[in-house]
A and B are shown apart, each in its own frame.
Chain A
Amino acid sequence: MADGHGAWGWGYLPIFLLLFWATWLTRGAFLLFGEKVRLPQSVQTWLRYAPAAALGALVAPDLFLAGGAVTFKPELVAAVVVMVTAAFWRNPWAPFALGMLTLVALQNAFGG
């Protein structure tokens, strides 16, 4: 954790101010800097793949790694529950409720 970061700290604020630009400039790419430019189809395809690439990279370590080594974790089981729930049940609360329930139950059962 960042130095000097207390319970009521503001230590991360500069980071959030920088991240503001990462959202505002992407959403504003064409609203702010000109609407005449057309995106070629190939560029659109790459832009469409970017979230899938980033989400895969960000989620995987939490599901497969413990202390830097590949481990079978309750998080993986909970993740499968989340994805199946989200795919077949439109209720927006269900993945959160069932995913947390699965993880807490497994951690209690196996002393996680």
Chain B
Amino acid sequence: MSREPRRAAPEEPAWREALRLMMPLSLGLIPWSIATGLAMRAYGLSEGEAAAMNLFVYAATAQLGTLPLIVAGAPIAIVWLTAAVLNLRFVIYSAAISPAFHQQSWARRALGSYWLVDALFIVLGPRLNAEPDPERRWRLFFAAGLWCWGLWQLFGLIGIFGAEWLPRDWPLTFMGTIALLVLLVPLVKEAAMRVTALTSATVAILAYDLPLKSGVVIAVLAGLAAGGAWTSWQARRQGA
């Protein structure tokens, strides 16, 4: 290269850039993590169990989605499948962000796989793939990952222990439903997603009494089939 592009200012430290980028969206994690903490306690988890779920599962959607199944005594296979389906979007994130982890060690990839939450992928994904220096890529990811994780654990604990101070007769399990509904809102702006969600909701109600909570799995498959059928029907209509 003949000329280095001149920099207006000395380079911003990676951790500061990561926090600056993450700040607006990551603050949305605060009500979410408090709500999850409250909901876990309302479903009957002990303080220790709730903290452990935050630590080990570290995925709000999977946590809130499986709680009703866990306390209803659903078989572990159904609980696990439900969590995995709710997490399938992470497979897309993983594929999209994997170039940023090119030439990184196994330990860094393992930690990255624990920390790859929605907010981090949405904000930092494009930035990481544009950064040529692998070491700076890792520092950006590390700072953002630690920040999201710390926020989640801290405010989760506030929800878990704060549940004691709220009135006993408040239906706090509904906090979990609210959190899931908030996630659904941006998805159903797309027609195919509306078809998917409405179909799975209808089948879930019709199949609610099936043994072993298997209705959830059937409803998800029905929703996916309906969404897929809708998409190919639309594609054919536009092609004609």
Contact = CB atoms under 8 A, between A and B. Distances in A.
A75 B177 contact: yes
A47 B96 CA distance: 13
B148 interface: no
Interface string B158-186: 00000000000011001101111111110
Contacts of B27: 92
Q: How many A residues are at the interface, by size bracket?
A: 35 or more
Interface stretch (B6-14, B15-23, B68-76, B130-138): B68-76
Contacts, number: 267
Interface in B43-57: 44-49, 52-53, 56-57
B54 to A, nearest CB: 9
A50 interface: yes
Main secondary structure on chain A at its contact with chain B? helix
A109 interface: no
Given A47-B92, A55-B187, A27 B181 contact: no
A12 B184 contact: no
A61 B187 contact: no
Main secondary structure on chain B at its contact with chain A? helix
A78 B203 CA distance: 22
B204 A70 contact: no
Contact of A29 (B90, B175, B180, B187): B90
Contact of A28 (B31, B109, B188): B109
A72 interface: no
A58 B204 contact: yes
A1 B200 contact: no
21 contacts: A1-B71, A12-B49, A13-B49, A19-B79, A22-B87, A26-B94, A28-B112, A30-B97, A30-B98, A31-B116, A47-B91, A53-B219, A56-B196, A56-B200, A57-B215, A59-B201, A60-B200, A61-B205, A63-B177, A87-B185, A103-B174
4 closest Cβ contacts across the A-B interface?
A: A28-B113, A53-B223, A56-B197, A35-B98
